[in-house]
Amino acid sequence: MKSSSERVEGDFLGEIEIPQGALFGAQTQRAVLNFPVGTQRTIGGYPRLIEGLMFVKQAAALANRESGFLDKTKAQAIIDAASQILNDKQFEHFPIHRLHGGGGTSANMNANEVLANLGEELLGGKRGEYRLLHPNDHVNLHQSTNDVYPTACHIAIIRQWPDLRSALGRLVNSLQRRAVELAKEEKIARTCLQDAVVITFEDLLKGYASFLNRSLWQIGKAVDDLYNVNLGGTIVGRRGDVPESYFRAIIHLLQKATGDANYRMAEDLFDSAQNPDDMVQVSSQLNLSARGLIKVCKDFRLMSSGPEAGFSEIQLPAIQPGSSTMPGKINPVIPEFGVQLCFQVIGNHAACQAALDHGELDLNIWESTIVFNVLDSMELLSNAISTFDEKCVRGFIVNSSQNSKYARSTISVLADLMKRHGYSRIDAICKQAGADMELIKKMLKERDL
């Protein structure tokens, strides 16, 4: 016997009890029970993915209305219901585990049921009845999870990108600005962790900025490729599974729903169903950027090592005590924070690669693994980059006296002398002195070099 706080809905598997006030329906409730969330994130924890689903449903409703397959009242109810979710950010109505089984079917049905119930109420009915608006017959008309979900995944990543793009751009600008400020500050360059030649902090920082600027461009290019979507390809890419009028209209109406004219139909819909390598390419670029950022963070960590027994070339902003037992100790916690976030990005990419590897036959069903790891990685990188920029790059101080001392190192002097006197002559002195740097200095002085 059901309680007053629950209602009963059914599907072809039978009846199931659902919380009375829930906007979702039977298939969502089954997913909630089948895939325990625990303390993990639901699809509602990824607003960009829900936005993508809502835009797809609005575009499909418009296409079905224009093609004469859905009356104006029902189509408008779907569009208005999706707008309500978007405007009010009602993401709590999407409670299923982000990595649910079934290749996104539960996510698609969650969206269908929520919109059907909201639309039902807008039309004067009651949630759970589906008398005026049905999740499958109306909201999902001429769609399949297999074109809805990948398209929503693409939209989610595209819409997440501006946050990371802005963070990267700000860090590049900060590095370039600090490079100008520190153009006259010399430092020793190192190769194989050994003394090399003298450069400036401008040289060093502009090198970092160039790498990050290239990363920005490469990620952006990979994201731009996601504007190719398979909406209209339904189950496995077979064009005949939707009416021609709907097929011709759907991409234009997706552009209208999203307010973004860059969306376009994928050239080969069968390819799109089989291969989500375009999303994995975004992950690959995020992975490369994370690995490069680790190097930058570790460089700052090395350059700030000390204060007396390390490089001590720079001083990072002191933001917290570094030890529970050593008074006065300050650790490079911001670079270390960034490194660890980047470690996680690398792990996320490994999961994306596995999802690409394990597609079978006509459909790769592992889009959830890919999209949520990509979205997580974008969030992680945005956090790492913004924090490193604001709490490290903008405020570090150069230890000029220490850097001047290092700039006069024997190896750097020998490198300069070699340019004037030839490699063989300077090399002969080094051979005669062996590894004794003091003897090398003495011999150079004796030869007036």
CB 332 within 8 A of CB 316: yes
CB 285 within 8 A of CB 215: yes
Q: Is 323 in the active site?
A: yes
Nearest Cα neighbor of 9 from 143, 164, 131 is 131
Collapse the DSSP code of 309 into the 3-class scheme (helix H, G, I; strand E, B; otherwise coil) and give the result: coil
d(CA 279, CA 284): 9
Look at the block and give the residue holding tokens 């504007």.
227
CB 359 within 8 A of CB 274: yes
Neighbours of 177 (CB within 10 A): 14
CB 331 within 8 A of CB 322: yes
Neighbours of 318 (CB within 10 A): 11
Look at the block and give the residue holding tokens 């001083």.
315
Please give the structure tokens belonging to residue 240: 């005949």
Q: What angle do CA 4, 8, 14 make, to 5 degrees?
A: 150
Of 166, 323, 400, 404, the catalytic one is: 323
- Report the catalytic residues: 323
